[in-house]
Structure 1
Amino acid sequence: MTTAKELLTKMRLGTSVAEFDEDLENYFVRTNVFHEFINGRKDIIAGDKGTGKTAIFRYLNKNFSLIEELDGKLLIAAFNPSGSPIFSQLSDQNIINESQYSSLWKLYIFALVGNTIIQGDTRLEGSQLDLLLKALGVRIAIPSPKNVFGTVLSRLPNFFHWKSAELSMTISESGIPIIVPKIEFADRDEKGSSSDFVSPEDALAILDRTVSESGQEIWVSFDRLDEAFHGQPDTEVKALRALLRTYLDLSDLEAIKLKLFLRKDLFRRVTSGGFVNLTHINAKKIEIIWDEEDLLNLLARRIRENSDFSTTLGIDNADDQAIFDRIFPDQVDLGSRKPKTWIWMMRRIRDGNDSKPPRNLIDLISHAREAQIRKEDRQTRDFTSSPLIEPDALRKGLTQLSQSRVNDTLIAESGILSLEIEKFRGGKAEHNATSLSYILGTSEDNVMAAIKPLRDIGFLEETGGTFKIPALYREGLEVTQGKAFQDDGNPEDDD
């Protein structure tokens, strides 16, 4: 007879963080978002944290040459996939406006792509592109994103006052053409430039022509942008607005395409207050949305990857729902008004914006599995028809999930809002205008404006005229179910 612990040790779900999941491609799902992206119909993928933006990039990066639709294309990562984000260095630079940031992004893209293609094709050494890179002081032997970005930053003062660049040609005594780069840097108060000179945008055109002549198309991808400017909201907004502007400016290039992976909340912040040609950006943007059926399928796919586990449990040919029902109890809390286990999970992995990231589901079940194994260590049982993971283990898994999301997401990424969030610690889950004004120290007339940022990040959600803290964050903040105000006796919703 197989014990429950033996089965649980065979049950592996992978890691919820794509950067660390070595088995990602085994259960990666080629969704509509993926197909729209690889076919070039969409360039910007937006999603909440934990919804799979980085998973798409990692899968593409590893399998790019094997995907038929991407034949003739080259993917260049403009960021470092691990370690400290290279763009965080921008916070230390004296850049004052979006125009300067846009110049920086263009020069970085020019240097990164230019050096990369020369490294891959030595015939380009001595070309116009090669000479221009050298003249700008950004010709780099090993063009990693970190090396290129660091070099571009070191040249920053001159780049901001780049008046012109030209490539002059003379003929040697033997009749051989000699191309000489010439760069001019303008004084701070100097205006204008001669139309005879090659502008920075023309430098990108030279790069685009060089790539086009090679028969390739290059995709320059940007990810981890939400990590790059942590604690620097002004820098974040200016830099990323400029990156979106650069995306629009480069959209006319034939062989160089920018591909952006952005958090939805970050995209909203960056474009709030107006953004010229936002409709053009939205037309090329697609959002990652996970329906509950998608999440169940994702979970089942990961479970099926455990062939030994699936065979022992007898679920080799089972459908998604049957797999779930074989592992989990029918209900976590018994009662006619209590939800089924799957609904219980869905209500507890969501935030106030109704975002249900796969990361939360995988973490919840992984924590529950660990809690169940600890119980089996204390009291071994043979597995028959009872749930493999029991209700108490799921409750303990939720506690760990809530503590993690409060600490690693809600508090860690909310900046100054973390002070407001902490005011709710140890209180009740449901509030009205009166209780909110008391907690936040503001008038009832101003309370809607005061809680808007908290609603935007999914910490509060409006339900029937009151505001609730989602179950996802309650245990992590020691918040208990119930109303923080006196009521007329209406029954509380059963969460």
Structure 2
Amino acid sequence: MNYSEIKDKIEQNMSAAHVKIEDLRIQQDQYMGWRIVVISSDFAGKAQSERQKIVLDGLESLTIQWLDLLTPQEQKWAGSLPLDAPLDLPLWPEALARRSHPETVMFASDLEDDLERPIIATFYSLRGGVGRSTALAYTARILANHGRTVLCVDMDLEAPGLAALFGKENEIQPEQGLIFSLLSLDQGEHPDLQNQIIRISETEELYCLPAGLPNANYARLLNFIDPEAWYREDRNPLRDLIKILSTELSFKPDVILLDARTGITPLNGPLLFDLADLAIIVFFPHPQTQIGTGALVQALLASRNRRTDPKLTPDPRFIVSPVPASQAPEVIERYHHRSLDWINNWLKSLSDQRLGLEPIMESEITHFIPYRETIATSDKILETPEYWRDFEPVAEWIEGLLPMASEQPLPVNLSQYKAKILQDLEFSASSAEYQSNLLETFVETDLVERAMQPNIPLVLGRKGTGKTAIFRRLLEDDQQHSIVILAPNPLKNNRLWVFTAESSKVIDQQLKKYQKSWREFWLIQMCLACYLSWEGEKPQPNEDLGDLLSTPLNTELDLSNWIESFLQKPKCGILMKDWLMRFDRAASDRTFLLIDGLDTGFGSGKPEQALRTKSIADLLSLINDLEHDLTHFKFKVMLREDIWRRLQFENKSHFFGRSVTLQWSESVDFFKVIVKTALQANTFKTLVQSIQGQQGQGRFLFHGDDSNLTEQQVRNIWNVLVGERMRGGKSAFTRNWVWKRIADGSNNHSPRALLQLFKQGQEWEMRENEKKFYGKTVIRPKALIASLEEVSKQTLDALINEEFPDLTNLVDQLRKIGRSPFKASEVENLKDELNLAMEVGLLSIYEGTNDEVERYKVPDLYLSGIGMTRKGQA
């Protein structure tokens, strides 16, 4: 019979005997049979045998390990009674025996709202010697240094020593410590835990509850610690302890760090499966630990901790320690990859229980701590912050669950303004040539400023890194003279001399017909651009060319005819160069000759690519020769860096030191793109200024001028827009999450992808805001998580369809593979495509070297766009 059947039968028996039930408890015994308690005033005057006959009628075959049939008066002396439940105990036998996860596995880090403090983090290791207590102590030090109130509890009762790590073991009194507190609670007493705690630092809020002094009395008392009984009975000293530590001390802990005993012991089961918000598992990736730690992780994922609203599963985190010091990078890499592969495999069963939540990224919940002799041989933790840095990511995991000063409720009622702000925000996800407010949102980094200098003729970069933004910045600057030689199609406007992909084929045919090179064409193109866009009196060409300018130029066909007429002239190249020099001399100021759109101006097929390569090589060779003769004209060529790498022409090295490759290496500059874009919405700017007014000057103060925002201002305004922490994700900070997720395989970042992410996030937030208002920020961080898949699709589509159609076969193969990382042998038939994919950031090496790749990895930016998952997430 099961729990429900037994309960129904007892209730029927009692009703038939007209005996009222005041309390009924049924609990399955750990090993065999049942524990049953019935409380009834009607038992008064009845012998035990008579009570049994009433209650157990029809249940004679049941194996009963514990039977109490009591009146309320008898209950008072009966002691703790079993709990009434078909128990799901947080003990090792039950936890390891669970075969399935809860229907939905939700972690503390998935929540948009703060958890009630304190956050409890349990540090555990299956085997010893991996630095578990050391990691806890340094983490506590860092958190306290960050202004958090931290209480460390030494739960390693069999081998106490946490106080010694803090240098405080000599302060422990004979009857001071956790073991005395637990046994006092077990006896129904209410101990003064304040007197059991040692203050670690006089300047920071760091405290320790030691286990006790390991003497003869301590060893005797250790025999009375019985967590199994605590979780089966009314009185639970362990939960009572946490309640007192959380609410009844003179200080309120932000964090309680529990140092759990190594191995499988009765006490550390509840510390992991019941009390932990974060379960920090410390291990070294030796095969001896793989199966046992994997079983522990499965038990964690099948558990529910003490939190009930909502129901949460202990959030797993992993410390791999100590990673041996080695001069060989491949040795360190082997330990890293083995650990991440294990963790990925342990978590792979979660996919069905995480629908609608961000997939777990094993690298973000794992931290590697190298072996450092100074730390390993020290008697206690070192006070110098230099030695803390290895443990800072662990502290960040915990801080990710704590309220932060930047996340305090806004001093304005956002509900009045949010819908209008969302409507007014305009994150243009299109390329720079289509953006209407590009100059207002233009971010001038040190690299961009250098790229705009007149002595830099060549600006390189991946698509979307800002080449066309620089083109437009120079073109639309009222203080700067510029002439467009070639522009992307959307910027062609009435510039009839800007040729298209169709014209480029005709031009090539004309060049072959008249035995001319693309060098002559570019001279013609430059002269026509100057002639047709010149303001004021136009310098005229040599008389040999003058007659050709009399025919009208109204169509693309007219342009083709003009070019052909020039090509037919003897000494065409010399005549055109002479005309260009006349324009140069006539220019009163420095004038940029702007060339952009070279990647799209020739078409995308292989013959068109070959044509493009030949044309650009001749252009750059020509520029090399012309620059020394020009006085006022300065060239500015925008070119994709992969095209540049493939070019071969004489004196290519002359561009060394005279070119700039656009990269966004500073995240604050990158995020300034979003901040400046958001500030274009007057409603958002008003919100920022109103916050500034209510919180005092300095926080956001920029006098209405967003051109020189400081790093702190960028972060503060970013936090109003989307928040500081990545609620609903595993990264502690939104900035870190965005920076990692939209990087390609070469760690390059594109402002276009950033704007696409916020555009999608804005639209998602507008829909969700109608269902459920979120008042902490304008866009909730979860909106970015929900938007990444669509951004991935858009970015992949642009990469394949606009830039590199040659990668189509590789992408099709990756879709079949379905997960990343993957073995190099799975794509070994696509060598050329692999080289290109590495070059453009579609792939990176996960394991191995450039000469001998073992495994490749697809970056998050392209992962869901391809339709792949991380390895193990089916």
Q: Same fold (TM over 0.5)?
A: yes
Between 1 and 2, higher relative CO (CA 8 Å, sep ≥ 6) is seen in 1
Q: Distance in 2 between matches of 1:104 and 1:325?
A: 52
Q: What is the correspondence of 1:253-292 to structure 2 with a 5 Å cutoff?
A: 253-255=629-631, 256-269=633-646, 271=647, 274-290=648-664, 291-292=666-667
Q: CA deviation at 1:133?
A: 2.9
Between 408-417 and 428-437, report the one with greater CA deviation: 408-417
Q: Distance in 2 between matches of 1:397 and 1:458?
A: 21
Q: Distance in 1 between matches of 2:869 and 2:644?
A: 33
Native 8 Å contact 1:402 1:474 kept in 2:
yes
Q: CA deviation at 1:141?
A: 5.7
Q: CA deviation at 1:325?
A: 2.4
Matched residue, 1:328 = 722
Q: Secondary structure at the match of 2:821?
A: strand
Matched residue, 2:545 = 133
Q: Of 147, 150, 159, which residue of structure 1 is paired with 2:560? A: 150
The change in CA–CA distance for 1:370 and 1:245 in structure 2 (over 3 A counts) is same
Q: Secondary structure at the match of 2:650?
A: coil
Matched residue, 1:60 = 474
Normalized against structure 1, the TM-score is what?
0.75
Q: Of 808, 833, 837, which residue of structure 2 is paired with 1:454? A: 837
1:120 aligns with 2:536: yes
Matched residue, 1:399 = 789
CA deviations 1:224-263 (Å, max 9, x no partner) are 1111122221111111111111211211222433321111
The one-letter amino acid of 2:847's match is G
The one-letter amino acid of 1:102's match is R
CA deviations 1:376-400 (Å, max 9, x no partner) are 23x142x53x343234422221111
Q: CA deviation at 1:346?
A: 1.4
Matched residue, 2:685 = 310
1:200 aligns with 2:200: no
Tell me how many residue pairs correspond in the alignment: 417
CA deviations 1:94-125 (Å, max 9, x no partner) are 256996111211222233324544x6306x5x
Query: Which consecutive residues of structure 2, in runs of 5 or more, have no partner in the other structure?
Result: 1-412, 493-497, 693-698, 701-712, 849-854
The one-letter amino acid of 2:726's match is Q
Q: Distance in 1 between matches of 2:835 and 2:792?
A: 22
CA deviations 1:212-233 (Å, max 9, x no partner) are 1554544321111111122221
Between 42-51 and 18-27, report the one with greater CA deviation: 18-27
The one-letter amino acid of 2:637's match is L
CA deviations 1:60-79 (Å, max 9, x no partner) are 2222x42xxx4xxx311112
Matched residue, 1:100 = 517
Q: Distance in 1 between matches of 2:616 and 2:794?
A: 28
CA deviations 1:324-349 (Å, max 9, x no partner) are 223335125445xx453222211221
Matched residue, 2:821 = 430
The one-letter amino acid of 1:368's match is G
Q: Secondary structure at the match of 2:489?
A: coil
The change in CA–CA distance for 1:261 and 1:393 in structure 2 (over 3 A counts) is same
Q: Secondary structure at the match of 2:765?
A: helix
Matched residue, 1:361 = 754
Larger radius of gyration: 2
Q: Distance in 2 between matches of 1:114 and 1:355?
A: 39
Q: CA deviation at 1:456?
A: 1.4
Q: Distance in 2 between matches of 1:114 and 1:7?
A: 47
Q: CA deviation at 1:44?
A: 1.4
Q: Distance in 2 between matches of 1:80 and 1:150?
A: 17
Percent identity reads 20
The one-letter amino acid of 1:79's match is L
Native 8 Å contact 2:421 2:683 kept in 1:
no
Between 451-460 and 359-368, report the one with greater CA deviation: 451-460
Q: Distance in 2 between matches of 1:151 and 1:216?
A: 32
Q: Distance in 2 between matches of 1:148 and 1:42?
A: 34
Matched residue, 2:485 = 78
The change in CA–CA distance for 1:393 and 1:90 in structure 2 (over 3 A counts) is same
Native 8 Å contact 1:116 1:143 kept in 2:
no
CA deviations 1:398-425 (Å, max 9, x no partner) are 1110111122223442123212222211
The change in CA–CA distance for 1:421 and 1:299 in structure 2 (over 3 A counts) is same
Q: CA deviation at 1:315?
A: 4.9
The change in CA–CA distance for 1:101 and 1:206 in structure 2 (over 3 A counts) is closer
The change in CA–CA distance for 1:280 and 1:140 in structure 2 (over 3 A counts) is farther
Q: Distance in 2 between matches of 1:324 and 1:214?
A: 44
Q: Secondary structure at the match of 1:260?
A: strand
CA deviations 1:16-71 (Å, max 9, x no partner) are 422222222222233334543554121111121111111122122222x42xxx4x
Native 8 Å contact 2:821 2:846 kept in 1:
no
Matched residue, 2:668 = 293
Native 8 Å contact 1:111 1:133 kept in 2:
no
1:408 aligns with 2:774: no
The change in CA–CA distance for 1:210 and 1:299 in structure 2 (over 3 A counts) is closer
Between 217-226 and 106-115, report the one with greater CA deviation: 106-115
CA deviations 1:283-322 (Å, max 9, x no partner) are 3211222121211222222223333213335555432112
